[in-house]
Structure 1
Amino acid sequence: MASSPSFSVVSFSSVNTEPSVSRLSSRQNLVSLNPRQQRLGINHRRNRNTRLISASVSSPAQEISSSASQRRPDELAASIFSKVIQTDRGVTLTREQHLQVAELAGELSKYCVDAPVKCPLIFGDWDVVYCSNPTSPGGGFRSGLGRLVFKTNEMIQVVEAPDTVRNKVSFSALGFLDGEVSLKGKLIVLDEKWIKVVFEPPELKIGSLGFQFGGESEVQLEITYIDEKLRLGMGSRGSLFVFQRRSQ
């Protein structure tokens, strides 16, 4: 598949406790136990209590995961936005912070609608606000060297009915020369969650100059969540994307 500065799209998308120990109902029953049996009974109760105490202790990671799973979709979405906004689309995040975003996205995906590729919320203008792989959106312009030369201003995706996708990355080169890379693609539904977009050769504009370069390219993406403000997608190579609907 040809490589180009394109970026992916999203389609329309127990604690097990033991039975209670029966209490001795009378003094007669207690007397019937010999000393050795009484000691064994005490040890048994001590071991049981120890097991119950151990079962009630959970690790910090389990507590965090449990807490996230109890949150509503809007709360999870707000947490994701709070972690990715103003991070240069994820570039400045640490590995631990990327893992936190992935965990939240995984919890939110449990609330995804059935057959998200059929959801009309896909249509509209979207900002790419995060990608777990910096070079997936924007290609070489977003590599370590590319970011030294090209400062990304906007990364926008427009999805138009019935099957048109337009991607645009605007930038300033060396801090003073404005430019943009744009692509137009056709959206193809693969199944209820997966889509493919085939892009025409990209067009590069720098100042007053504009020309096409490279060849066609394509991307595949699994839609993992979509609502009025947020879209999540997982690329075929494992990159997580977060899209935010642009204000009208």
Structure 2
Amino acid sequence: MQTDRGVLLTRDEHKSVAEVVQELQRFCVDEPVKCPLIFGEWDVVYCSNPTSPGGGYRSAFGRLFFKTNEMIQVVEAPDIVRNRVSFSLFGFLDGEVSLKGKLNVLDEKWIQVVFEPPELKVGGLDFQYGGESEVKLEITYIDEKIRLGKGSRGSLFVFQRRKP
């Protein structure tokens, strides 16, 4: 089923996802922020709030112009996080927005990532815009294939490990 990372789901379908997430959380390892499985390349396959990953590019208005191709998060040891959203503008001009950040462990489940200003690449153009940003995420479940998280504003995230 194509959900555009949760955007196309109905309210009831979002509720079903939340129920599955809640069930999986019961099996989370102790101190998931220290689990080596956190490192690697992850596809963002679901977010309960469509604009949390990708910002305005993922809003209802933004999606009229920007078709999301990939949303990837790379977590590199010991403390680097890279987020990348690749898109097609007007259906023919490829581009991407990327962020590089420093991961800080807040406690056994919560992390904070402070990102540098975003970098936008469209066609031959490449520039940074905006300022630093910061997110906090609770890691609520992790295994070899799936990572679940909850943002500080309550958004649920589902990440799927990318195949090597």
TM-score normalized with structure 2 length:
0.99
Does the alignment pair 1:160 with 2:80?
A: no
The count of corresponding residues between Structure 1 and Structure 2 is: 164
The equivalent residue for 1:237 is 153
The equivalent residue for 2:54 is 138
The equivalent residue for 2:85 is 169
Residue 34 (structure 2) aligned to one of 92, 101, 118: 118
What does 1:10-89 correspond to in 2, within 5 Å? 86-89=2-5
SS at match of 1:117: helix
SS at match of 1:155: strand
Task: Name the larger-Rg structure.
Answer: 1
Residue 205 (structure 1) aligned to one of 121, 129, 139: 121
For residues 74 and 2 of structure 2, what CA distance do their matches in structure 1 show? 21
Cα shift at 1:86:
2.1
- Higher helix proportion (structure 1 or 2): 1
The equivalent residue for 1:101 is 17
AA in 2 matched with 1:206: V
For residues 126 and 178 of structure 1, what CA distance do their matches in structure 2 show? 21
For residues 68 and 141 of structure 2, what CA distance do their matches in structure 1 show? 26
* Moved >2 Å (runs of 4+): none
For residues 51 and 24 of structure 2, what CA distance do their matches in structure 1 show? 24
Deviations 1:134-159 (A, max 9, x none): 00000000000000000000000111
AA in 2 matched with 1:96: D
TM-score normalized with structure 1 length:
0.66
The equivalent residue for 1:127 is 43
- Higher strand proportion (structure 1 or 2): 2
Deviations 1:70-114 (A, max 9, x none): xxxxxxxxxxxxxxx621000110000000100110010000000
For residues 244 and 201 of structure 1, what CA distance do their matches in structure 2 show? 26
For residues 88 and 118 of structure 2, what CA distance do their matches in structure 1 show? 18
Whose relative contact order is higher, 1 or 2, with alpha carbons under 8 Å and at least 6 apart? 1
The equivalent residue for 1:228 is 144
Deviations 1:20-55 (A, max 9, x none): xxxxxxxxxxxxxxxxxxxxxxxxxxxxxxxxxxxx
**Unaligned segments of structure 2, at least 5 residues:** none
For residues 204 and 91 of structure 1, what CA distance do their matches in structure 2 show? 23
